[in-house]
């Protein structure tokens, strides 16, 4: 099953696209530099945080909750960083510790109403790097004025104690090498299963025993620790994509400690992994059709005729590179799997559509370079190295959070569904699951989250979101005992701070002043 990251990394994609694709004649627009306008700076204040909030904390956890944080300036004006010690195993703190990395942007007003924890998604995206490097994507001026905005790397991610599997060369082979044999053949599937097993074994060998503890429930307990050591009685939180599952899990565990919580790009926690992957396949296919409609109106579109004609031509193009891979200028071979990854990467945001037109034009003309650039952006690869461990962390969390499933009969039924509802990507979507080779059995369960006893929780859903389809947000808001749904009518991943003032103003009003959005708010 191919699961795609439900992540806020669209900001990172946009920034890197400017660097790697600039100057291509086929690209008709440049991404505006004003998107990266700086937040008004404030001087960082190093030193200790407010006194830790330890009310109601068990005695064996007091050594963690009573930590006094020491901040030091980092990442430019207005930012400071620290680390927090957390138990590897929250059910048995004697199992040792791990480290959580934090960055803080101090409230520009100088009078914060509290901390606002954020999570950009993934699982596996770095909250430290996105707050430090792209703060204006995480929170707008109103939030950065009134809150100390906190980015953190969840356990297993980035600058925290991290999952480690492969070096760049081996990760290249794992992500990009074309396996032997015809698609669907025993030879090919056996090769993929061996590849998965080798990857899983490397993760076990190189991750210092942390794999059993890389779970969303443990990460949610870490968030309560962060709340405490930051000195907040309640958790204020803005979570994107996977961050909505993390936030909902926190609300399930600690409903009375929830302050003001917004979950943007809601994930339905009741869905099994196979349904998540299938819904994403249909979501990306739907967005691909919308892209094609726009593409056909552009002079640089490599397709012609109707949307159906263009989709059929793209199917033929995928089949062609599946049978005859293209060689890029760096020597890597582009097959259908990597081309599909490139397509998916560009569908997270309408602003990436010109680059997708360029990539598909290049592939049609026998040039794989732009397609590889898009796939590399998705995989966190730049100049032959990997800038983060998002690939490893993504798999580690999913393999622990989702119970194993997919019998042969279920797989056959799922393939039939994809053939009907996502015919372009269907031949390339399902593949042997790395989690079947994972060295630690999953501990997560799937089921509705109600968070009885919490205050209102605002959920944002976008009607044309491919990575976290809109029905998931509707389902999550309906499950939560105090769920309140905001609908953004539009394309692309996520809704807040995306140019829709109706959504942004409603979220800001709730987080800053506690004003709930109008019932059934729908923002066109």
| Active-site amino acid positions | 241, 465, 493
Q: Is beta strand 97-105 parallel, antiparallel or unpaired with respect to 70-73? A: unpaired
78 touches 39 (CB < 8 A): yes
Give CA angle at 120 (72, 472), nearest 5°: 155
- Report d(CA 313, CA 294) in Å as an integer: 16
Residue 201: burial class (beta carbons within 10 Å; 0-12, 13-18, 19+): middle
- Report d(CA 277, CA 158) in Å as an integer: 25
| Alpha-helix runs per DSSP H in 41-140 | 62-65, 127-133, 135-138
- Report d(CA 330, CA 61) in Å as an integer: 51
472 touches 495 (CB < 8 A): no
**3 state SS of 47:** strand
480 touches 472 (CB < 8 A): no
323 touches 524 (CB < 8 A): no
**3 state SS of 510:** helix
The DSSP result for 171-215, as a single string, is HHHHHHPPPSSSTTSHHHHHHHHHHHHHHHHHHHHHTTT-GGG--
- As beta bridge partners, residue 491 has 464
E strand or H helix at 314, and its extent?
helix 307-323
Q: Which two tokens stand for residue 103?
A: 């960055």
Q: How many CA atoms lie within 13 A of 176 on its CB side?
A: 27
- Report d(CA 285, CA 287) in Å as an integer: 5
**3 state SS of 358:** helix
The one-character DSSP state at 515 is: P
What radius of gyration, in Å, describes the C-alpha atoms of the chain?
22
Residue 323: burial class (beta carbons within 10 Å; 0-12, 13-18, 19+): exposed
What sign does the CA torsion over 398, 268, 2, 387 have? negative
147 touches 114 (CB < 8 A): yes
Q: Which residue has the tokens 């700086």?
A: 38
Residue 114: burial class (beta carbons within 10 Å; 0-12, 13-18, 19+): buried
């Amino acid at each position: 099953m191919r699961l795609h990251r439900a992540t806020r990394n669209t900001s990172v994609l946009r920034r890197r696209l400017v660097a790697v694709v600039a100057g291509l004649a086929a690209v008709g627009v440049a991404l505006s530099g004003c998107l990266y306008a700086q937040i008004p700076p404030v001087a960082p204040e190093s030193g200790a945080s407010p006194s830790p909030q330890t009310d109601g904390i068990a005695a064996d956890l007091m050594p963690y909750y009573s930590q006094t944080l020491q901040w030091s300036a980092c990442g430019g004006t207005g930012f400071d960083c620290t680390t927090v010690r957390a138990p590897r195993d929250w059910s048995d703190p004697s199992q040792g510790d791990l480290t959580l990395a934090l960055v803080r942007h101090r409230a520009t007003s100088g009078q914060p109403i509290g901390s606002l924890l954020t999570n950009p998604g993934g699982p596996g995206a770095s909250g430290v790097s996105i707050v430090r490097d792209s703060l204006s994507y995480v929170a707008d001026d109103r939030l950065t004025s009134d809150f100390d905005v906190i980015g953190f790397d969840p356990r297993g991610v980035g600058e925290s104690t991290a999952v480690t599997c492969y070096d760049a060369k081996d990760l290249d082979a794992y992500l990009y090498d074309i396996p032997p044999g015809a698609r669907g053949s025993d030879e090919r599937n056996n090769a993929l299963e061996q590849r998965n097993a080798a990857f899983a074994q490397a993760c076990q060998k190189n991750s210092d025993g942390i794999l059993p503890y890389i779970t969303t429930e443990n990460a949610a307990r870490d968030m309560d620790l962060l709340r405490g050591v930051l000195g907040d009685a309640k958790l204020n939180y803005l979570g994107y994509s996977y961050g909505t599952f993390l936030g909902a899990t926190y609300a399930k565990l600690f409903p009375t400690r929830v302050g003001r919580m917004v979950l943007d790009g809601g994930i339905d926690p009741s869905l099994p992994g196979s349904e998540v992957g299938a819904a994403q396949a249909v979501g990306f296919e739907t967005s691909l059709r919308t892209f094609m409609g726009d593409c056909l109106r552009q002079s640089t579109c490599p397709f012609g005729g109707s949307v159906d004609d263009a989709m059929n031509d793209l199917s033929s193009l995928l089949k062609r590179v599946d049978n005859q891979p293209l060689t890029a200028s760096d020597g890597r071979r582009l097959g259908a799997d990597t081309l599909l990854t490139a397509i998916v990467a560009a569908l997270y945001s309408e602003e990436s559509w010109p680059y997708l037109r360029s990539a598909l034009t290049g592939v049609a003309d026998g040039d794989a370079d732009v397609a590889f650039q898009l796939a590399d952006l998705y995989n966190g690869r730049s100049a032959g190295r990997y800038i983060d461990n998002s690939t490893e962390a993504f798999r580690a969390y999913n393999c622990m959070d989702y119970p194993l499933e997919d019998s042969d009969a279920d797989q056959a039924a799922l393939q039939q569904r994809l053939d009907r509802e996502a015919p372009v990507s269907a031949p390339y979507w399902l593949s042997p699951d790395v989690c079947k080779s994972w060295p630690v059995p999953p501990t997560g369960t799937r089921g509705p989250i109600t968070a009885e006893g919490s205050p209102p929780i605002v959920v944002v859903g976008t009607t044309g979101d491919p990575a976290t389809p809109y029905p998931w947000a509707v389902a999550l808001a309906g499950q939560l005992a105090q769920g309140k749904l905001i609908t953004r009518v539009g394309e692309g991943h996520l809704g807040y701070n995306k140019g829709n003032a109706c959504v942004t103003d409603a979220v800001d009003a709730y987080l800053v002043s506690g004003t709930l959005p109008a019932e059934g708010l729908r923002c066109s």
